[in-house]
Structure 1
Amino acid sequence: MRKAAVFVAGAVAAVTALAVPSAGAATHQAGLHFGALQFDGPGADLPRTNAKLNAEYVDLHNNSRSAVRLTGYTVKTASGFLYTFRSFTLGAGKTVRLHNGQGTDTAAHVYRKKNNYWFNNSSGSVNLLTPRGAKKDSCSWRANGRGWTSCH
């Protein structure tokens, strides 16, 4: 009987450990949030080209069952660089990649249309602000040898 009680207690502990994610485990955020962020594109920053500018990007993901109208939402870095969405709706379960340089906006890619880098290669942060200025999400990074981070 004692062996059975010890076995059951051990089994319960094992199942509990499997069911509860560790404190360091990443979870996928619900609703509208940042995803991947490429803060330092591959290769040297100079000479500056549109391809290198567009290699800096941040993904915005709508992990909900409804489309979200992004018109008026702003993506703003700690150093003050920003992008404000014009007329744009992000479908349910969809991701839009916000590139830094020039390009033609589509449902999956939008462009800041600037000729300067906007993410600091060593560290920084970016915020997603609602049209009324409330912070919806944020992401920060430090140089990591890869040049990108996952924001969720």
Structure 2
Amino acid sequence: MRRLAFALGIALAVAAGCSGLAGPPSQPAGTAVDGQSADLPAAAVTVTVTAVVDGDTVQIAYGNGTGDTVRLVGVDTPEVHAENDPAEFEGVPATAAGASCLRGAGTNASSFAKQRLLGESVGLAFDPNVDRRGYYDRLLAYVVLDGTLFNYRLVETGHGRVYDSEFTRAERFYAAEDAARADRHGLWRCTDPGAATRTGTDGGPVEITDINADAAGNDNENLNDEYVTLTNAGDAALDLSGWTVSDAAGHRYAFAALTLDPGASVTLHTGSGTDTDADRYWGRTGAVWNNGGDTVVVRNADGEPVARRSY
């Protein structure tokens, strides 16, 4: 179904080109977009991200102080404010476990967007095959940050699926989605939600819900894009104070004062930053997680292993 939509999009793109319709100018061919050689769309306007609604929707402010809501073109992240339909995510079972796993993945996507976009000055670019505004009057746009197409990055890391539409970059996005699904990155772990759960016996149902060992570019130069995410899958708040996260080589991080509410997640970034309830920073100067495979082990304050996941 999605391939048919893509083929239709190509046909419409050709038709648009023949009729003289044109989108915004692009940078020269060969500009890097998260490791791929492709045209990065030129920003039509620069704005500030003032709030992150969820992984694929942000609120922005223009230079004159007015605001708007932007829905990212070409990507759909799992819902955090509504129920998810597993049927929308290829291979995710239509079960309560599948829906629950997607809710956690949606929380992770929101955290991912907040860590990278909130408070940042970004460029908005538009696709010639997509209307400027959608059904809810939200602006439909690409978000460009520091030479990166953030819409693509969401798909590449498994934080979102490709949203079927006629956008011109569909082929690249689908290739990134296929790779993320094959490697079971992010939400694609939900294709096997039972295997995605790694819990201990201390009454703390913690899940290692995301591992991003391979940061964009050089891992050692992009430490905050190397991370692991833990989610409280239980029905009660969980005190993680004194809990640790470690790798197979024995590198260990200990959480200071942190309570994780039911369904909430915390992402541990390898680099440095300001700790919040949703994001913690290890403060290391070099990468921890091996791109070729490693094991994440979570231990409680008594040193007992409560969650383990290898990749």
TM-score, length basis structure 1:
0.71
Counterpart-to-counterpart distance in 2, 1:32 and 1:128: 9
- CA RMSD for the aligned pairs? 2.1
**Count of residues in Structure 1 that have an aligned counterpart in Structure 2:** 117
Counterpart-to-counterpart distance in 2, 1:44 and 1:75: 23
Amino acid in the other structure paired with 1:38: N
Equivalent residue runs for 1:39-50 within 5 Å: 39-45=213-219, 48-49=220-221
Q: Structure 1, residues 66-95: CA drift from partner, whole Å, max 9, x if none?
A: 110000100010111110001111111100
- What is the SS of the residue equivalent to 1:54? helix
1:74 aligns with 2:244: yes
Return the offset for 1:25: 3.4
Amino acid in the other structure paired with 2:263: G
Counterpart-to-counterpart distance in 2, 1:26 and 1:107: 25
1:32 — aligned with what? 206
Normalized per residue, the structure richer in strand is: 1
Question: Where does the alignment leave 5 or more consecutive residues of structure 2 unmatched?
Answer: 1-93, 98-190, 200-204
Equivalent residue runs for 1:3-152 within 5 Å: 25-27=192-194, 29=197, 31-45=205-219, 48-49=220-221, 52-141=222-311
CA contact (8 A) 1:33 1:136 kept: no
Higher relative contact order (CA 8 A, sep 6+): 1
- What is the SS of the residue equivalent to 1:123? coil
1:150 — aligned with what? none
1:145 — aligned with what? none
Q: Structure 1, residues 93-138: CA drift from partner, whole Å, max 9, x if none?
A: 1000010000001111010011111101111111000111111001
Counterpart-to-counterpart distance in 1, 2:268 and 2:259: 14
Counterpart-to-counterpart distance in 2, 1:82 and 1:67: 24
Runs of 4+ in structure 1 deviating by more than 6 angstroms, as ranges, are none
Question: Where does the alignment leave 5 or more consecutive residues of structure 1 unmatched?
Answer: 1-17, 142-152
2:169 — aligned with what? none
TM-score, length basis structure 2:
0.36
Counterpart-to-counterpart distance in 1, 2:280 and 2:262: 17
Normalized per residue, the structure richer in helix is: 2
